[in-house]
Structure 1
Amino acid sequence: MLKIGYVRPGNENVDERVSGLAALGCQVIRVEEAAAGPASAPVLSSVLDFIAAGDQLVVSRLEELATTSRDLLDVVARLEARGATLYVADADLSTHGEGGRALRAVLEAVGALEPSAPARRRRSAAEADEIHALKRAGMGPVEIARRLGVSRMTVWRKLKDLEAPV
């Protein structure tokens, strides 16, 4: 069995976490690039693509793998599909055996409680000001929509509101 350690840089010292994983017997330790955000983890994805049956992915904390329980369930599912397991050192949790089934059940229950997608944030009145400023600068509605990342209809509505008599 190969133990593969994984570290996502965060607030703590990466060198200490790498040393901790080496002390746990990890033969291979991979560190995510500091610029990788929660949604972008190419090193983790690579590990999950190539981990073999019987191997174990070792992390210090669950937060290193995912920011939501749904994402964590996806990681666990990918590991299970390859015949590998997960071990979380700080919590002394493993997906191996009976405890693994219980851990998965808890993660599924928590995942069911999470909202499925973050609510879209509506742009404020600053958007209307930007639209009007760009129009005064001579830019057309289609280009304004493209630059601000809004729909053309939004631009047309804001421009119509500007032209409407008060």
Structure 2
Amino acid sequence: MGKIGYARVSTTDQDLSLQLAALSAAGCGVIRSEKITGSTVAGRAELRTVLDFIGKGDTLVVTRIDRLARSLGDLQDIVRELKAKGASLVATEQPIDTSTAAGKAFLDMLGVFAEFETNLRRERQMEGIAKAKAAGVYKGGRTRIAADEVRRLAGEGMGPSAIARQLGIGRASVYRLLSPGKVVSQDDRRPLDVPL
């Protein structure tokens, strides 16, 4: 029966020292840490190692649950995996101890609020993008060119300039799609509105 600590920060310029000190003070014999975003469990090798290694009677110790998971779904998956192995979860800075009924209830409430905060942040971001688009400031990502549509319009006899205007893309893109692998110099191009 042992305590295994897990510490995480989101970016490489953030410092793990406070978390590591708190986990040592909590009596963790083993502490794993990583610098990686925590929105999902995927890609977090150190956390995966802890979850694979932890066994019956062990306790996973974190400073706060947001160091462990940012979504309620991921948090519940981790807690279920710990429970299936006979292990528990404790947070040093929050009244969380999944070996007690009160600790489990508090964990569920914190998980709901953490996910709510993430969703609010996403909504604010989308509102900001919509406002920027309305003001003409935000143009979005690169336009994806529908190659099939370019070829279809060319097949109907439409010229490169007309295709480019209709699809809102550059004429050079039309030429590239209609002549894959061939570099077309300015001198080699057909007159602008002559169908291909």
Shorter chain as normaliser: what TM range? Answer: 0.5 to 0.7
Deviations 1:42-99 (A, max 9, x none): 1101111120000000001111111111111111111101100000111131101222
Aligned-partner SS, 2:70: coil
Range moving further from structure 2, 98-107 or 49-58 = 98-107
Q: CA RMSD in A?
A: 3.6
- Alignment equivalent of 1:16, drawn from 11, 15, 18: 18
- TM-score when scaled to structure 1? 0.65
Aligned-partner SS, 2:5: strand
Which stretches of structure 1, 4 residues or longer, exceed 4 Å deviation after superposition? Answer: 107-115, 123-126, 128-131
Matching residue of 1:41: 44
In the alignment, is the contact (CA less than 8 A) between 2:68 and 2:75 conserved in 1?
A: yes
Residue 97 of structure 2 corresponds to residue 94 of structure 1: yes
Residue 16 of structure 2 corresponds to residue 3 of structure 1: no
Deviation at 1:124, TM superposition (A): 4.5
Matching residue of 1:62: 65
Q: Which amino acid aligns with 2:173?
A: K
Range moving further from structure 2, 5-14 or 41-50 = 5-14
Pair member with larger Rg = 2
Q: Which runs of 5+ in 1 are unaligned?
A: 143-166
Aligned-partner SS, 1:86: strand
Alignment of 1:120-131 (within 5 A): 124=140, 126-127=142-143
The count of residues paired between Structure 1 and Structure 2 equals: 137
Deviations 1:108-149 (A, max 9, x none): 86699797xx89x9x948415898346235136x9xxxxxxx
What CA distance in whole angstroms lies between the structure 1 residues aligned with 2:67 and 2:112? 20
Aligned-partner SS, 1:127: coil
Q: Which runs of 5+ in 2 are unaligned?
A: 127-138, 148-168, 181-196
- Relative to 1, partners in 2 of residues 1:111 and 1:20: Cα closer, same or farther, differing over 3 Å? closer
Aligned-partner SS, 1:67: coil
Residue 78 of structure 2 corresponds to residue 75 of structure 1: yes
Deviation at 1:6, TM superposition (A): 0.3
- TM-score when scaled to structure 2? 0.56
Aligned-partner SS, 1:8: strand
Q: Percent identity?
A: 30
- Relative to 1, partners in 2 of residues 1:60 and 1:111: Cα closer, same or farther, differing over 3 Å? closer
In the alignment, is the contact (CA less than 8 A) between 1:73 and 1:104 conserved in 2?
A: no
